[in-house]
Structure 1
């Protein structure tokens, strides 16, 4: 038997190196399932980045009593209110925001929170640090009004976390009956009628303390009801709701004991 003839194919022009490159490209085109293993990590904004941002002036009040506070723009723009104001700055104009009707101490507390995530008096657990500026008999509601003003500013500036902190501090603040009336007057004057988050606790507080009204702040309560009828109605509604609940519990208890339910008294004809 003769040896088989070996046929050598003609060179098609593709070198070995070209073949390897083509195979590598094919491997890159085919999904391997490993593309999404490494998550995309968002760039971290550091406190230094905030401090590098331009300074913005806040002018609180007006005229000779105006006070200018300064803050870094990147911190301010956490608030939608300030972010919108900053967008209206032009290259040549002053970086200034006017707040002519706001309280300077409350505005300072807002800035303190933006920098420190808290404001004086600092919250520690379920207690507030001692505040030497508050009188022992706080008949003016100094402490309550401080947090109430911060709350209203936080609501306006679009800072719900700060509003929640101020609301918590309100409930941890001690005051007198007259101080509570001063606080109630501010709430019903400065907050929206739809803001039940802060109004309902005020009405509930006074509805559950009728004895205080008679003995400690009757005249102040009367003036409050005449000035803000909605406050008087809210308190009365709470009192009547509680009386109705007590009556229902009493009737249910009597019914369970076998006693006949008390009928509602008929109105006599006229």
Structure 2
């Protein structure tokens, strides 16, 4: 599999029954958030520069490790990703683990002998590279590892040379700003019907720390815009995070501006979640 640049051609709310999840997938209280208003603006990155495992690494490693009885078919699909039209390639068998790709390939190429190509102009190359890495390897960089001594899950420790690539946020062209990478991966997995990838990405973002208030709110807006109203995991994850970090949000002023702007169901759900939280405290006192 490879990636190169191609020259461009001419509603349900959270009711009492939807109490905020207290699972380990949420940000822990000790992690907290940063209230700094001076977020660094990073230039957009590409899959080649920001992903630990490139598309070529993924396909070659997997193909060579397959046993003869479980070998992948030679059918290759070309994927043209993002506004810059980055080109990826993947085995059709691997892509069809996703119901979305399975249906798309079946509908478009049922009787065709032509080369199979899928255009995804709204996807971020870095995110799609992570999705492909998951499809081939069962995880994406940096990996989720189990600490047997502590009996807990952690994001893998990186070498000094790799620390710069382990950023929790990415620049997203769709919102012209930074949001949590794992949230975008979760929403992409939702689109492609990859339930296990949703669980992996949710656990990973629960292990992130030091995320600034404005980034959290931008990520929450993105989560609400790209998940169905029935989603009770990613949305609840953000509601729980905001509740636990309420004192920081009060001091930052970011939440006040966000509420003035409005535009999503986020704040009604947050009101219900806060009410449930107060009820829980009252019932235990």
What is the TM-score of this pair, normalised by structure 2? Answer: 0.63
Q: Match of 2:75?
A: 54
Question: For residues 144 and 158 of structure 1, what CA distance do their matches in structure 2 show?
Answer: 22
Question: For residues 139 and 101 of structure 1, what CA distance do their matches in structure 2 show?
Answer: 15
The answer to whether the aligner puts 1:133 opposite 2:165 as a matched pair is yes
Report the Cα offset of residue 189 of structure 1. Answer: 2.1
Measured against aligned partners, the alpha-carbon deviations of 1:66-89 in whole angstroms (never above 9, x if no partner) come to 111100111111111111122231
Report the Cα offset of residue 241 of structure 1. Answer: 1.8
Quick check: 1:134–1:143 contact (8 Å CA) kept in 2?
no
Q: 2:116 aligns with which of 95, 101, 110?
A: 95
* Corresponding residue SS for 2:265: helix
In structure 1, stretches of 5+ residues that fail to align are 1-45, 251-270
Quick check: 2:170–2:180 contact (8 Å CA) kept in 1?
no
Report the Cα offset of residue 166 of structure 1. Answer: 0.8
Report the Cα offset of residue 134 of structure 1. Answer: 5.0
The answer to whether the aligner puts 1:164 opposite 2:199 as a matched pair is yes
Q: Match of 1:241?
A: 276
Quick check: 1:79–1:158 contact (8 Å CA) kept in 2?
yes
Measured against aligned partners, the alpha-carbon deviations of 1:145-166 in whole angstroms (never above 9, x if no partner) come to 2111111111111111111111
Question: For residues 204 and 58 of structure 1, what CA distance do their matches in structure 2 show?
Answer: 37
CA-based RMSD: 2.8
Structure number, greater radius of gyration:
1
In structure 2, stretches of 5+ residues that fail to align are 1-65, 147-152
Report the Cα offset of residue 222 of structure 1. Answer: 2.8
Question: For residues 115 and 256 of structure 2, what CA distance do their matches in structure 1 show?
Answer: 47
Distance 1:135 1:79, change over 3 A: closer
Distance 1:179 1:134, change over 3 A: farther
Quick check: 1:56–1:73 contact (8 Å CA) kept in 2?
yes
What is the TM-score of this pair, normalised by structure 1? Answer: 0.66
Q: Match of 2:127?
A: 106
Q: 2:105 aligns with which of 79, 86, 97?
A: 86
* Corresponding residue SS for 2:80: strand
Quick check: 2:79–2:87 contact (8 Å CA) kept in 1?
yes
- Between stretches 124-133 and 114-123, larger displacement belongs to 124-133
Greater percentage in strand: 2
Measured against aligned partners, the alpha-carbon deviations of 1:133-184 in whole angstroms (never above 9, x if no partner) come to 3569x79899962111111111111111111111111111112323322221
The number of aligned residues is 202
Measured against aligned partners, the alpha-carbon deviations of 1:3-50 in whole angstroms (never above 9, x if no partner) come to xxxxxxxxxxxxxxxxxxxxxxxxxxxxxxxxxxxxxxxxxxx45544
Question: For residues 149 and 75 of structure 1, what CA distance do their matches in structure 2 show?
Answer: 21
The answer to whether the aligner puts 1:189 opposite 2:210 as a matched pair is no
Distance 1:211 1:155, change over 3 A: same
Greater percentage in helix: 1
